[in-house]
Structures are given as structure tokens and as C-alpha cells.
Structure 1
Amino acid sequence: MTGTLPRPAARRARRWLPDLLRQAPFRRYWSAQTVSLFGDQISAIALPLLAVLGTGAGPAEMGYLTAAALIPNLLFSLLLGAWVDRYPHKRRVMVIADLGRAALLAAVPVAYLVGVLSLGQLYLVAFLTGTLAVLFEVAHGALFVSLVPRRDYVDANALTNGSRAMSYVAGPSAGGLLVQTLTAPVALLADAVSYLVSALFLARIRPARAPEPAAPDGTGFGIGQGLRFVARSRILRAVLLGTTTLNLFNYMFAALFVLYVSTELGLSPGLLGLVIGVGSVGALLGAAVTGRLVRRFGIGRTALVGFVLFPAPLVLVPLAGGPTPVIVGALLVAEFLSGLGVMVLDITVGSLQVAVTPERLLARVAGAKRTVNYGIRPIGAVLGGSLGAAIGVRPTLWIATVGAVAGLLWLLPTPIPGLRELPEPDTSAAA
């Protein structure tokens, strides 16, 4: 026995696959994304635990470690987006980014085993892996459009976001189990291996058409061109303003959620973990149904649903009160519906961004969006903490949950609500 399915059985199994996953190039792209996302969830647990247990890091040092991973988004997104748009081999960039992250993470357990691991090394690893993550993310849009026909953008985004949702469901548990059984340094090797597997899948992709167009020589390096394009495009400008507004208030909420639930509502860590896990299940369902919603109601109206369904259910958090079962029930509903909504939002907004952007500007637009969206997150977190200290945690949560819905208002006076299908690239905004 070889362990492989007989050919008739293999054909029957393949019929259950979505059409896109029957195509080897996209299947390899999706597999690379999926493996990498699960590895990221392992590092999200293992690296902070290693900082605490291996180097004795305290609260301030943990904040610095988190900042080291995030700051490349602000420093390099525009610059790397401009460079990647002019470089004709985006897939090669993605493979190099994966290999670099694998090497950086593999060096950590080696340093730990020989007794030379320091907090400074962890800061450096977090910063450099964060930089390579930016490089990977700004490059992948061009590969995406070379693999996926325009009519399948929503379904393709649903599959990749479904992997992300599944990684949120299973990844933390797997990461915790690996850390508990193998220790944090060895668990990091699992993430390093995931990047190697991702690089292998990407290296084996052969797009059906000529991929990864470089910008014409006459356009200049164009660091600010992505921002200018977004500012000129009615659709992308509204989407960016809407998501930035939503992120500002959502990170106000996120900064206080755990504190409020654990202290003022009195939930145990186990119940808190259950609540967060249900949110991941909602995200998985959202990835499964978004394509159907788009086909039924159109891409524009479905995007509007995402802008409401993501933040609105979270009003149940400051509203929750009474016996513990009632509180837990309210939080479960809030997290489940919000998780569903965030997938609807991410899939529709991601599809709109790729559809509206000319291929030669994909990386620059991705860099511009990443700079703004990631730049607003720490501002929201600091604002939430400051308001929570000044006026109280519960009133701040009310402001955050209600304010986040205001992101929808940016989209209403634009063509987005009337869009049935994905729009064509906005060449006038690129002029």
C-alpha cells in the first residue's frame, strides 16, 4: 500500500474541492499562505513566552518587543511598495522573505541552546521578521492577480481569509501545546519550518500568464504614488477612510477589552479564551458565506454589511451585565457576529482594492494602505487607554463600539453601495 487514494477515489475527492483549488498554481499559493499563517500563530505565543521565561522580560520590555514587530509597517511600507512595483519578480521577493524569516527564527533556539540568547536579539528578530513580513505582503498582490481571474477575486480572497480564520481557531492551541511539550525555543522551529514549506510552494508556482509587471521606466520610483492614487480614487479613498476610522475605534476597544472582561465583568481566563475562540469560529463562517452574499446582493452592499457587522455587535460588551451565564452569552454573541463581520469586510475590501488598482501600482497601493491602517492602530490603543483612565473603561467602550460604525459613513456618498460586480481598474486616478 502506498497510502495514496486510488485514481477514482482521488477524482471523487477532488470534486469536493472549490474550483480554484483544483488549479495547481493557485492551490500552491493558497497552501503557502495557509502553512505560513498557522506558523505565525505559533510564534505569536512562543516568542513572547521565550522573552519572559528565557530573558526575564518585564511589562516594558514586552511592549518594546511588540513595537519592534509593528514599527516596520510604518517605516518601510511605502518604500518597499515602491521598490517591489519596479522589481519584475515578485514571487522571488516572497520566497526570499520566507527564507529570511525562517533563518531568523531558527537562529533563536540555537542562541538559546548555546546560552547566548539576549533580549536585544529578540528585539532584532522581531524587527527584521516584521520588515520581511511587510516585503512579503506588498509583493503578493501582483502574484494574486496573475493566478486568479477577475471574476474569482472574491472566492479566492474567501479561501485565503478562511485559512486565516482557521489559523485563529487551531493555531493558538497548537502553539500552546508545542510550547508546553517542546518548550518555546523548539516551538519557534515549527514556525521556521512553516516558512520553508511556504517558500517551497511559492517556488513551484507557474502562473498561467505573464505575471508581476514592473512599472514603466518613466514613472519614477514613486514612493508617494500609491498614496496619490488612493487619494484620487473615489472607491479606494472611501474604503481607506472607512477602515481607518473603524480601526481607530476598534483598537480603542481592543486596548480595554481584556481588562474590562476580566476585572469588571469577572470572567475567568478560561471563559475569556472560550469567548475569543467563538469569535474565530464566526470568522470561519464569514469566510464561507461571503462569496454567496456577494453573488446575492452585490459586492458593494456586502461591503457595507461588513462595515456594520464587524463593529456593531461589540456594543453587547459594555451592555453586558447580570448573572455570569447572561454575560457570557452576550459576549459569545458579540464575538461570533463580529468575527463573521470582519471576514465579510476583509474579503470584500481586499477584492475591491485589487480590482480597482492597476497592476503596476499594486505594491505601492498595498504599502500606502498598510502604512495608514497600521499607523492608526497604536494611536487608537493609546487613545483608548487614556480615555479609559480619564472617564472610565465602560464609557470608553461605548465610545469605541459606537464610533467604529461611523466608518460606514465614508462609503455612502460613493459609487460603492451601487456596485454589483467588481469595478475595472481606475486608470483616471493613476494618471
Structure 2
Amino acid sequence: MAAVKETAHEPDEVSTRAWDSRGFRWLWTGSAVSSFGSEVAELALPLLALVTLAASPGELGLLRAAQFLPFLLATLPIGLLVDRSRRRPLMIGADLGRFVLIALIPVSVWLDLTSVLLLCVVVFGAGVLTVLYQMADFTFLPTVTTVHQLADANAKLAATQSAMEIGGRGAGGVLVQALTAPVAMAVDAVSYLLSALSLSRIRVIEQVPVRSARSPLREVATGFRVVWTNAYLRALLGGAMTFNVCQEIFTIGFMLYAVRDLSISPAGVGAILVAGGAGSFAGAWFGSRLTARWSYGKVLLVALALGNTAPLASALTGPVGTWAFELLLGVFFVMGIGIGISNAHAVTIRQVAAPAELRGRVNAAYRLITWGGIPVGALGGGLLASELGNSFAMVAGAAGLATATLWILFSPIRTLRSVAQASPERTSY
């Protein structure tokens, strides 16, 4: 990564040019359509298993495991592959592969050839390709932007994904209800084809990365070393790990408490989750404007404090009685705002702080560790809820979420005036 020269006017001048970039616009378009399809499938796939195939709870759990396993098993080798290859062809290949695999689902249903085992194999393969796409996308984005455009670019991508989360799941329900789950899965498949076509329109020159003579194990280990020795990445890693563990505890406690103790209907629970998505959209869309007025580190710290502390208000659901539903709507909306801002800002710091030639491996190490906290939190949440009560699990998770901000408070991130200060040229390992 070339040294970044900061001037008083450069960020504004670059920002002016940013949205004239065809490369970013096509990347943005591809991300939007594939995100929409993914959210449609998020609802359609389990419904297809339950309704069309009459899957048992155990089979449904197996299907969910098949979706999740690639993020644990494939992340490290794919991170190495991304650092050794051009990223745009990898992304196009991942999209085309997902189009073929997901299209097999409705075709097999229509030909009466499908089974839960087939679904598991297909979604596992599609999950591996999703890991490939996401890892390559993380590394490719800085190719079509400058360091000063990254925050704005990530904010727009995050806002788009939040909007697709809201619209895609709503559309998925309508498609399943009106046209059946296989048709909804066909829509998901087509979304990946459209994304591949969009990415093919990007005209950018990518240099073939120089391959190291070191063993793959040593190259993978380098990603872990950078994550741990870089003060910015280490703080984000600790915060994300804490957040993921406690978020799972909070979510499991909330779902059980809302449905069983507060008797909130499934539609009501859905409305609360949509409020979170709406807040995330608002935060991601307007977050970059805040950094134009205040320092990067301060905006990130305040956003984290807002989003990570808001769930504590869920402890008031008992005292407010019949207003519990409205309180939870507000909690999730405010939480979403904080998450929308902080996610885009944190991703930008990770992209800038990681050396360009190591970005894939650094991202792989980061994701493996932070995503590893999800099953830990899920098991912990279930145990707390069963032993100490649903409300206790929800509030305990909320309390843990509030502590995630401390990783950033006591790190150099809070003093960042601009994200460029986190670049490797200005950071010692």
C-alpha cells in the first residue's frame, strides 16, 4: 500500500470523485442484488425444508450447521487463496458457482428429486463460495477506492445490505406465500447471476500478487501475527469477539423472553427485528457524514457506546408492563443505529490497517476468531436461559455487550483523527 499523503482538501476532493467511479457503482450493484437474494433465501430455505420436505427438528439443525460450517472450515485456506490471486475473477466465479448450486434446489424439487441431504450438500457448497466472495470482496474494495473513500464506500455498502435485509425478508415471505419456497430459491439463484454480470462490468487492473516461497502454514500464521500485534486490529478483534459472544446470549434470551414470557406474537418479534434493521440502515447511511465533522475515532467510540449500551434498557421490560413491546422496538432501533455506524467504520480500519499483500490472511484470521465466539455465545445463552431464566439471559447478554466498547476506549483507535492514520506505513508491529 502506497504511503498516504494527507492534506486539508484531499478527502473532499477524493470524495467528490468517488461516486463517479464506475467500478464502485458496479460493485455496489452486485452487492445489492446478491444481498437481496440471500435475504429471500434466509426465510425460504428453512420453510422449504419444513413445508416441502417435512424436515424434522434434527434435520433442520443439520441444514443450519451445513450453512455455518464453511465459515469455520474454509476461512483460512480461502484467505491464503485470496492473497495469491486476482480478486475480481474469484468474486465472479463465486457468484456463478452459487447461481448453479442454488438453482439445483428448485429444479430438484420440481423434478421430485430433492432431499434434506441434498439441501445440506448444496448449501455447504454455496457457503464455501460465499466465504470466497466475502473474503475477496473485503480485499478488492480498496482497489476501486482510495483510502479516503473507504469509509464512505463501506457505509454505503452496509446501508444497502441493511435495506436488503428489510426488503429481502419481506419479499421472501410474500414469494413463499404466493409462489412457494422453490420459486423464492430460484429468485435467490438469479440474484447471483445478476451480481456476476455486474462485477464483469468493472474495469480495473489487478496485479497478480507475488507468491511467497514460504509454506502455506507460515503464511496463514502471518495473518494471525498481524492481527495480534497491530494495536488497531487487536482492539477491534477483542471488541468483536466480546460482542459476538454476548450478542448470541442476548438474542437467545430475548427471543425466549419475548415469545414465552411477554407473549409477543411472531409478527411482533419480526417487527422488533425490522426496527433493528431500520436503525442499522440509518446509521450506516449517515455515519460517514459524522466523520466529516468529528474525528474518526470519536465517532466510532460514540457509536459503539450507543449500540452496545442500548440493550441494557431491555431490563426495564418488566417494570413498563404493557409498554414492553414499544420499549423493545426502541432498544433495537437505537442498537441498530450504533451497529450501522460502527460496523462500516470498523471494517474500514481493518482494510486500511492490514498490509495490502496480507489483507486476505489477516481478514481470515480475524473472522475465524470472532466468528468462533458465535457458537460459544449460543451455548451459553441457552444454558443461562434454562438454568436462571429467559430474562436473566437477556439482561446478562446486554451487560456483556456494554463491555465490548471498553476494547476501543482503551486503544489507540479513539485518538484517530482520520482512518489514514491506521495505515501500516504509520503503524509499527
| 2:303 corresponds to 1:301 | no
Instruction: For 2:75 and 2:401, locate their aligned partners in 1 and report how far apart those are by CA, in whole Å.
Output: 25
For residue 209 of structure 2, the aligned residue among 201, 205, 214 is 214
Instruction: For 1:21 and 1:366, locate their aligned partners in 2 and report how far apart those are by CA, in whole Å.
Output: 26
**Cα-to-partner distance string for 1:38-67 (whole Å, 9 max, x where unaligned):** 000011011111111122112222121111
Q: Structure 1 330/424 Cα, relative in aligned 2: closer, same or farther at 3 Å?
A: closer
- CA contact under 8 A between 1:142 and 1:212: conserved in structure 2? no
- Corresponding residue of 1:43: 41
Structure 2 counterparts to residues 183-198 of structure 1, below 5 A: 183-198=180-195
- Corresponding residue of 1:76: 74
Instruction: For 2:212 and 2:301, locate their aligned partners in 1 and report how far apart those are by CA, in whole Å.
Output: 38
The letter for the 2-side match of 1:217 is: S
Q: Structure 1 126/429 Cα, relative in aligned 2: closer, same or farther at 3 Å?
A: farther
Shift of 1:339: 0.8
* Alignment root-mean-square deviation, CA: 1.8
- Corresponding residue of 1:271: 268
- CA contact under 8 A between 2:166 and 2:277: conserved in structure 1? yes
Shift of 1:430: 8.6
Instruction: For 1:58 and 1:316, locate their aligned partners in 2 and report how far apart those are by CA, in whole Å.
Output: 37
Instruction: For 2:51 and 2:132, locate their aligned partners in 1 and report how far apart those are by CA, in whole Å.
Output: 30
- Corresponding residue of 1:4: none
Shift of 1:163: 0.7
For residue 55 of structure 2, give the secondary structure of its aligned residue in structure 1.
coil
Q: Between Structure 1 and Structure 2, how many residues are aligned?
A: 412
TM-score, normalised with respect to structure 2: 0.92
- Corresponding residue of 2:60: 62
- Corresponding residue of 1:5: none
| 2:88 corresponds to 1:91 | yes
**Which range moves more in the overlay, 330-339 or 218-227?**
218-227
TM-score, normalised with respect to structure 1: 0.92
Instruction: For 2:414 and 2:383, locate their aligned partners in 1 and report how far apart those are by CA, in whole Å.
Output: 36
For residue 263 of structure 2, give the secondary structure of its aligned residue in structure 1.
coil
- Corresponding residue of 1:173: 170
- Corresponding residue of 1:152: 149
Identity between Structure 1 and Structure 2 (%): 33
Shift of 1:413: 2.8
Shift of 1:178: 0.9
Shift of 1:318: 2.9
Structure 2 counterparts to residues 64-143 of structure 1, below 5 A: 64-87=62-85, 89-143=86-140
- CA contact under 8 A between 2:307 and 2:336: conserved in structure 1? yes
Structure 2 counterparts to residues 325-364 of structure 1, below 5 A: 325-364=322-361
- CA contact under 8 A between 1:142 and 1:211: conserved in structure 2? no
Instruction: For 1:245 and 1:295, locate their aligned partners in 2 and report how far apart those are by CA, in whole Å.
Output: 29
**Cα-to-partner distance string for 1:142-188 (whole Å, 9 max, x where unaligned):** 32111011111110001100111101221111111111111111111
Q: Structure 1 358/94 Cα, relative in aligned 2: closer, same or farther at 3 Å?
A: same
Shift of 1:270: 2.2
- CA contact under 8 A between 1:250 and 1:311: conserved in structure 2? no
Instruction: For 2:60 and 2:315, locate their aligned partners in 1 and report how far apart those are by CA, in whole Å.
Output: 28
- CA contact under 8 A between 2:253 and 2:392: conserved in structure 1? no
Shift of 1:19: 5.5
**Cα-to-partner distance string for 1:67-119 (whole Å, 9 max, x where unaligned):** 111111111111110121012x2110111100111101101111111111000
Instruction: For 1:381 and 1:201, locate their aligned partners in 2 and report how far apart those are by CA, in whole Å.
Output: 37
Shift of 1:213: 5.2
Shift of 1:425: 2.5
Q: Structure 1 323/253 Cα, relative in aligned 2: closer, same or farther at 3 Å?
A: closer
